[in-house]
Amino acid sequence: MTFVARAATTSDVFNAIAEPQRREILVLLRVGERPVTEVAQELGMTQPGASKHLRVLREVGLVRDRRVGKQRLYALDASGLRPVHEWAGGFEQFWNESFDRLDEYVQDLAQARQED
């Protein structure tokens, strides 16, 4: 049996955001900087758990941090989502074409009803 090595979570944006709590953290950080204690409290997780998720997000370039006194503030770095955006954008043409076909079908139905 052959096994394909998975990219380490800490080096791959797709693996990092596959974890639902990490996606929740990203949504929370869209509003602005937050300390780890606030992230943990808002999302109902332990501080060590939140710290672990924030570390992974920082290592893949989705979160940046800065020290303010004894506190570390975390902020979203959305530029790290570029690979996800580019990948998902490849499906945009598919959806646009599907919606165009649906629109044509609905217009054909409406025209057929008017002719009846």
CATH of the domain at 25: 1.10.10.10
Task: Specify if 4 maps to a domain.
Answer: no
Token pair for 114 = 């008017």
16 within 8 A of 60, measured Cβ to Cβ: yes
Task: Specify if 83 maps to a domain.
Answer: yes
Per-residue pLDDT of the chain (116 residues; tens, 9 = 90+): 554 444 445 568 999 999 999 999 999 999 999 999 999 999 999 999 999 999 999 999 999 999 999 999 999 998 998 888 888 888 888 777 877 788 788 888 888 888 87
H runs (alpha helix) in 1-116: 13-17, 20-29, 36-43, 47-59, 82-89, 92-115
Degrees (nearest 5) of the Cα angle 88, 43, 72?
A: 90
Task: Specify if 81 maps to a domain.
Answer: yes
Residue span of the structural domain in which 49 resides: 9-115
The domain tally of the chain equals 1
Task: Specify if 3 maps to a domain.
Answer: no
15 within 8 A of 7, measured Cβ to Cβ: yes
